[in-house]
Amino acid sequence: MSFSWMAWTLPTALFFGTIFLLIAAMGVWEYFSPGGSPRVGILRFETTRGDRLFVSLLGAAFIHLAWLGLGGPSLWWALALSVVYAIGVFRFV
C-alpha cells in the first residue's frame, strides 16, 4: 500500500503519534479506573474523561487554526495555549 498521497513529514508523524498515544493512555487509564470519572463541571452537564479529551482536542484544533490565521506560521505559542486550555478543561469541565 502506497502512502504517497500523504505528506509524511516529521511534524505530521508526531501529530498522529501523539493522538494515538493519548487515546492509548486513556484506554489504559480506563482499564485501571473504569467509569471515566463522570462529573458535572462549569458546563452543567455530566462529562467523562473521554469527553474532556475530545473537547480539549477540538479546542486545540480551533486555537491552532486561529493562530495560523491571526498570528502566522509559528505555532509554539499556540501549542502552549492549547496545553493550558486542556489543563483547564480537565480541571473545570
At position 93, the amino acid (one-letter code) is V
Angle at the Cα of 24 from the Cα atoms of 9 and 73, rounded to 5 degrees: 30
Q: State pTM to two decimals.
A: 0.80
Helix (H, G, I), strand (E, B) or coil at 46: strand
pLDDT in tens, 4-59: 777 777 777 888 899 999 999 999 998 998 887 789 999 898 999 889 999 999 99
> Would you kindly state where each structural domain of the chain is located, as residue ranges?
10-92
- Alpha-carbon gap, residue 38 to 75, rounded angstroms: 33
| Mean pLDDT value across residues 60-85 | 93
pLDDT for position 13: 81
pLDDT in tens, 48-66: 988 999 999 999 999 999 9
- Sequence-distant (≥ 6) Cβ neighbours of residue 35 within 8 angstroms: 48
pLDDT for position 1: 60
